[in-house]
Amino acid sequence: MAPTYKLTYFDARGRAEPARLLFAQAGVNYEDIRITHEAWGNLKAKTPFGQIPMLEIDGKVLPQSKAICRYLAKQFKLTGKDDLEAAFCDAYVDTVEDVASNLKAWWMEKDAEKKKEIWNKFAEEHLKPFLVKLECILKENGSGYLVGKQLTWADLYVFELLNNIHAKHPELFTSHAKLTEFIKHIGGQPKIKTWIEKRPKTEN
């Protein structure tokens, strides 16, 4: 019998969206539970580490967004053809987290001008070098995917970050033809395209 999945997060894409993309690509049903920030106060103490997203699998609660995605990727055969490809998937996902961690100050800042300054600094020091490296990885791999010759969870994880940035700052991709292709390619996968079209419209 197939397991029953319940994914809990806020009404946002955020850290839950890569898992939702995995469910979409696999064509697996799950309960997409979206809570309000007001409801979070009561739920927080009942979570494993006081954080969401969390994934309930037949009643067992799995915390941590990357652990959730890695588990789902294994279940849905999206970790590559062997252990080495799986390791490269892990490496690229970890790198996304390293880069995104430098945006904490941007998320916390309320002043518009200061927020803009933080973003510009992030883009110059962290994002642009990362995009250059990703462009090289795609060129070297030559398949349209980051790892191997078929779609993996790393593609979906990286796509979620790049697609959000591209929507707001397309100018960052003008010299990155492979990355622009990659966004269109992954976003154009039939099941991913369908999910993006029907998912709730949120700011982030």
Query: Which residue among the candidates 13, 15, 20, 70 is catalytic per the annotation?
Result: 15
The answer to whether 159 and 187 have CB atoms below 8 angstroms apart is: yes
Helices (H), the chain: 17-26, 37-43, 65-75, 83-100, 104-108, 112-122, 128-141, 153-168, 177-187, 190-198
Q: Annotated catalytic residue: which of 5, 9, 30, 145?
A: 9
What CA–CA distances, in Å, run from 125 to 66, 99, 100, 148, 163?
25, 10, 12, 29, 20
Report helix, strand or coil for 152. Answer: coil
9 flagged as catalytic: yes
Q: Is 34 a catalytic residue?
A: no
Q: Is 153 a catalytic residue?
A: no
**Is-contact 59 6, C-beta < 8 A?**
no
Query: What would the two tokens of residue 106 be?
Result: 């941007």
DSSP 61: E
**Crossing angle for the helix pair 177-187 and 153-168, nearest 10 degrees?**
110
CA distance 12 to 147: 28
Q: Which amino acid, 193?
A: K
Q: What residues act catalytically?
A: 9, 15, 107
